[in-house]
Amino acid sequence: MIEDIHSAQDMDRLVAEGEGYVLLWLWAAWCRPCQVMAPAVQALEERFAGKIRVARMEVDEQEELAEGFGLVGVPTFILYKDGEEKGRIIGYRMKAKFFEEIEAMMKENKG
């Protein structure tokens, strides 16, 4: 299940408890590419169940928190491993390319 981030405390908890991989999806309700990618994110969560924990944050609802990420666009996906940022994907991707990039980041950051 994709978790929703509604506060800095939610974000701190997610990263602090995040043993293994956590994928944070930063999106906006008005963002068409964000909406189009939603099924791919859901599929990714199912495909990597038990390996990646997925959370999302609506950047307009959490403007102050979102500013801390230095966003240049949405959607932005940030992959964390053991609480540390390991990589980002910025912008729309086709499902296969999205999976490929996530898998590549995971391989780069094993161990």
At residue 26, the 3 state secondary structure works out as strand
What residues act catalytically? 31, 34
Is residue 50 packed enough to be buried (19+ CB in 10 Å), middle (13-18) or exposed (0-12)?
exposed
Q: Give the angle 14-44-24 at the CA atoms, nearest 5°.
A: 30
**What DSSP character marks residue 28?**
-
